Structure 1
């Protein structure tokens, strides 16, 4: 398998030898924005953007941050741009278990508990599970113990042949969805651990066809979103996943957190979960 999954956009290189200019050009090209369009967004001129990218002009700290904002550069990479331009990083990277994160952790715990009986969990940029509610335990029924040793990884738990995979009725379709999601993240972030995880889970065995293809009684899938259909104690439960992130984060750790919730995709699933919860 190629080091970069097929379909990923080329990610700007991390080298800062040429200053911030080449990095900014890489992000601009990845976003498919012209120098003129970026200049108009940032209140500058195409000539100035060109001078910055070629190293003829050193951008101010404010200009680096403004361009990064309009190019939707991830917070971690904004620090890299600042360093390349000769400035100090603007965004801290606070460990999630730091006392200053107490309020954040407590808020996330309350949030995912509020989704019960529906499964909800918090993951970091590598899809390691940082918190999960009791609804997630229902999905983990039958998963081998070695996959449940912390840190749990959501992608590994889902796609591993000793994880959820054998019980997912539309495994091929759901797997394609998850791999495409990781593919987009790799294109957005420079993360060797994430790339290694992609290569690992993409290599897991997968059936020639989904089990539900020949199983008409399962009913039609909702047209508005792709469901995950999973067996549990002789039933097939259907979930739609939703991912939330923090708005305007000022910390790298917070910027890379995601809260994933699994909502019932049909009335039968919702009724069953509420009955178990009661």
Structure 2
């Protein structure tokens, strides 16, 4: 049954729904920062890359049919979700019975365009210029290796962050959308699916020598910060489509 409530106006109304998302994004950012700090003392980027590299210049991903399939086709899933959401949004304009699907559809499209699209592939990937593992001297290439956040203007590459991983972790947006316009169980299912799919795609990129571990961690963190930011911007004009089970620690404030 659709909840007939006015649009939420502040933290008190939305806290019971969005508190798991706040924790989720905070954990991703903490993990990405932790990996980056550990690299200062023990270079986990090179260590994890070496696990998947075997002389002479052969990466595990080059021999794995699964990795090849993920490298070639994994971004298609995120694109299909965004395109599908766009079509649903257009239908919502012309069909009154679909009107309630307009806001979540718009959210999924914006999250895709601003996260994997603009931030990762449009800005960072073409400005950071970090060399990929398969291109650095340590793995038979000709580029100099640079640790995460030690930007070398002379370096050439598209390693930081990972476009494939960002498109995969973008699917966590399904859980973000369900938090506001769906049910709590669907929120957790969407987050779990996005994390599982993103982890699998990230592994294929690292195992193929296309990215370092820190690249994919930051892809997960950054794209979900965008997911959260787009959702936060839409909250003042949104209303829940179904009632949530108010079982969160912040439910007392609603």
Task: Assess same fold via TM > 0.5.
Answer: no
Q: Hey, which of these two has a bigger chunk of helix by percent?
A: 2
More strand by share: 1
Q: TM-score, normalised by structure 2?
A: 0.30
